[in-house]
Amino acid sequence: MLARLPIGWLVAMAAFATAVLCLGVQRCARTRGPVAKTAVLSFAFLLVMTGMGRLGIVPWDARQMMVMYSFVWVGFTIGALPSGKRLREAFAAGDRRPESDAPALPVRYVVFMCVAVTLALFLAFPLAM
């Protein structure tokens, strides 16, 4: 359904998903370095996913991969919301804290992240057809 939209709308969806992800990273990191790295890596993932769809490596075409990319990044950002305070603390500490003293994320945060990304994929799959 969404994969039938004009390519401009698909690019806008992907740009919106990337912007949402970058805003989430900006909120946690509060510096431009991690945000720029996130944007570059996100764009690289988009190119790889659409390339895989274009080459036929996966059973979906490039348009469907763009829809899935958009939904997964939004799901990832939503999944990271509960752990935002811990992520801000980790970014603020930077390299000052030894690895052994770094607080681990509670299991409920990891489970919420996995559930959010999975639900986003389950929602993207029928919408991409």
For 90-123, how does the pLDDT look when each residue is reduced to its tens digit (9 = 90+)? 777 765 666 666 567 788 888 998 999 999 999 9
Place of tokens 């829809």: 67
For residue 39, what pLDDT band results from cuts at 50, 70 and 90? Answer: very high
Alpha helices in the chain (DSSP H): 7-29, 32-55, 62-80, 84-93, 107-128
88 sits in the region (left: phi over 0; alpha: psi -120 to 50; else beta) called alpha
pLDDT computed for residue 32 by the predictor: 83
For residue 43, what pLDDT band results from cuts at 50, 70 and 90? Answer: very high
pLDDT computed for residue 84 by the predictor: 80
Among 33-42, 57-66, 68-77, 92-101, which stretch is predicted with the lowest mean pLDDT? 92-101
Q: What percent of the chain has pLDDT over 70?
A: 92
Closest Cα partner for 63 from 4, 117, 20?
A: 4
Average pLDDT (38-61) is 92
Mean pLDDT value across the chain: 86
pLDDT computed for residue 37 by the predictor: 92
8/14 Cα distance (integer angstroms): 10
34/40 Cα distance (integer angstroms): 10
pLDDT computed for residue 129 by the predictor: 84
pLDDT computed for residue 70 by the predictor: 93
**List of residues 6+ apart from 115 with CB closer than 8 A:** 79
